[in-house]
Amino acid sequence: MRRARLRVSRKAYCRKGTLRKEYTRDHTVIPETKVKGSCVKKSTFYIKDVGAPGRGKKLFKVKRGLLKKHGYSTHLPEEQRHEALRKADRDYGSVRLWKMLNAQVVYRKRLPDGVLSTFRQDRDWVMKNLINPAEARTMTRPAVKKWKGMSHHARQVAMPGGKI
């Protein structure tokens, strides 16, 4: 897939002359100097489209229809949505289900608060009702940081049934 290119047009502008302060570089003192003013011509150039400013590339891709096949829809009443989430929990597991709903919240964070609030409520409901406390602790950043800080041998011992 080819990325779109954006056309950027810059206006002409003029800079004023300034007095640059004295500074040190590589143990050499460079005295203060006068910088002349200059004018920059208008220009047009192309840049690669990288999405909204500061967003970067997508970290993951959401598979379509995984929740819909269990009967989940944001237009359903709360009880029917929760029943569909219980069905999806049997297939995917509660942590993966929470991550699916969280991905929808992240992808819709710039939209008005309609469907977004439904996904957010369901994500929080999954955390409260379907994820047991031991799984919730493994999802937190300190647990991940601790796991990454362990040696390979310590990780093997820490795994369930992981006696060597």
Per-residue confidence (pLDDT) for residue 86, from 0 to 100:
93
Per-residue confidence (pLDDT) for residue 114, from 0 to 100:
78
Per-10-residue mean pLDDT for the chain, 164 residues long? 79 93 92 93 88 65 87 93 93 88 85 83 90 74 73 77 56
Determine the Cα angle at 72 with ends 121 and 103, to 5°. 55
Of 111, 114, 102, 108, nearest to 139 by C-alpha is: 102
Of 122, 115, 73, 117, nearest to 101 by C-alpha is: 122
Per-residue confidence (pLDDT) for residue 155, from 0 to 100:
77
Whose tokens are 């799984």? That residue is 135
